[in-house]
Amino acid sequence: MFKILMGVPFPEDGTSRYRAYGPFNHLRKNNIELITPPPQLKWHHLEGVDAVFLQRAFLPWQVQLAHAAKM
């Protein structure tokens, strides 16, 4: 199973719905798992995922996620 870590700022807002979770929900039907990052993200959380998706990375945890993914 392919796993994608979703770095979406506010999963319940409309923009995230049509830019991220809406299109990616189609992937769930194709054996792809969407993962929400834990509140205290550490580098080892990235070991179990195949890809990281960031939408408008402007919140501190999103910047931390981008930095951890780069490392």
CB 8 within 8 A of CB 21: yes
Mean pLDDT by 10 residues, the chain (71 residues): 81 70 75 79 82 80 79 78
Of 34, 26, 36, 43, nearest to 3 (Cα)? 34
Residue 9 neighbours by CB under 8 Å, 6+ apart: 16, 55, 56, 58, 59, 62
Where are the alpha helices (H) located in the chain, listed in sequence order?
14-16, 22-28, 60-70
Given this model, what pLDDT does residue 11 score? 66
**What is residue 51's three-state secondary structure?**
strand
